[in-house]
């Protein structure tokens, strides 16, 4: 633990949740799904404690827009598909046109 404090590059799940403005459970889910890189530190009771790179939190909320392929920061990265409502509507319109041709 002292090693982490000296370097300052790793944070705990609770600290990562505070920095990313999400719950600790969300951070654990991101780690389990591989969306957020982390390393196991030790096992406490049944649950593992993770050390999360502070720099990886900056990219944790970034998603690519399905329409324009631009990176954007999403409030819910697992559900976000489009950077704006206009791109969502255009994509849906194009999908309807493709389905009508079939």
Per-residue tens of pLDDT for the chain, all 102 residues: 444 444 568 888 888 888 888 888 888 888 888 878 888 776 666 566 788 888 787 777 788 899 999 988 887 777 888 999 999 999 999 999 988 887
Instruction: Give the span between the Cα atoms of 49 and 79, in whole angstroms.
Output: 26
CATH number of the structural domain 1-60:
1.10.1660
Tokens 């049944």 sit at which residue?
A: 46
Residue 31 gets which letter from DSSP? H
Half-sphere CA count of 42, side-chain side, radius 13 A: 3
According to CATH, where is 1.10.1660 located in the chain? 1-60
Task: Identify the three-state secondary structure at position 3.
Answer: helix
Residue 102 gets which letter from DSSP? -
Confidence (pTM): 0.58
Phi then psi for 60, rounded to 5 degrees? Answer: -65, -30
């Amino acid at each position: 633990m002292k090693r982490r404090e000296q370097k300052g590059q790793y944070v705990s799940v609770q600290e990562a949740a505070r920095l990313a403005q999400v719950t600790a459970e969300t951070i654990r889910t991101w780690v389990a799904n591989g969306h957020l890189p982390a390393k196991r530190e030790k096992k406490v009771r049944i649950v593992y404690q993770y050390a999360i790179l502070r720099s990886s939190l900056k990219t944790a909320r970034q998603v690519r827009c399905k329409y324009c392929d631009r990176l954007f920061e999403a409030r819910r990265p697992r559900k976000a598909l489009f950077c704006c409502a206009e791109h969502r509507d255009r994509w849906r319109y194009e999908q309807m046109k493709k389905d009508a041709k079939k």
